Amino acid sequence: MYKLGNALTWTQQGYELFAEEGLDGIQVERLARMLHLNKSGFYHYFGDMEVYWTTLLEYHKQLAEVYFDDIRMIDTIDPQLFHIMVDRKVSIMFQMQLVRCSKNHTLYNVATLIDQKEEKLIEELWSEYLGFVENPKLSMRYYKMVRDMIYARITLQNFDYEFVRKIVTDAKTLIQNIAERVPVFVTEEPRFPNR
């Protein structure tokens, strides 16, 4: 007799695997081996890979809402947000992998939706953190750049408080140095000539 596990077991394993390895990591036979289950269990619960991906994305949206609830409770970037990020690192890694899947519109659209929700929640705190309260729009442009730097460099192994803090504080120092040297750059949106 073989074991089926349950749908949540398959979902959680796939979620973690995608967070670490991206699209290439999601293979039915590999998931079954990792879980010590028969691959027929996968098909019993999901039927096919499309349904499985829908399940993974819904699971990610649920975990993103928990992350957003955590953000709503904080009043500082350092250390509170950094600790939340580390506590939710698998979800953040999953999000990062979705962002990297720009050619897959379904995955990328979910990533974009979640990023936009996060940006709305973080705007005021981030603007205060940078000292750009008078220009939250520009502040958020910097936030997106810093988030992309984190996405480009994180792994499950290096993703800890000190790693996140170093990237963000280094970026903050650089941004503030630019602001001191070129105040127009920091306080105004770029202007492009009419074509």
Superfamily of domain 1-47: Homeodomain-like (1.10.10.60)
**What angle do the packed helices 161-181 and 105-130 form, to 10 degrees?**
60
Q: Do residues 17 and 25 lie in contact, with contact meaning Cβ atoms separated by under 8 Å?
A: yes
The full length of the chain comes to 195
Q: Is the dihedral of CA 61, 36, 17, 91 positive or negative?
A: positive
pLDDT digits (tens, 9 = 90+) for 139-184: 999 999 999 999 999 999 999 999 999 999 999 999 999 888 875 5
Amino acid at the residue 20:
E
| Residue 89: closest CA among 148, 2, 19, 187 | 19
pLDDT for position 1 = 38
Percent of the chain with pLDDT over 90: 88
Q: What is the mean pLDDT of the chain?
A: 92
Q: What is the pLDDT of residues 11-62, one digit of tens each?
A: 999 999 999 999 999 999 999 999 999 999 999 999 999 999 999 999 999 9
Rounded Cα gap, residues 104 and 110, in angstroms:
10
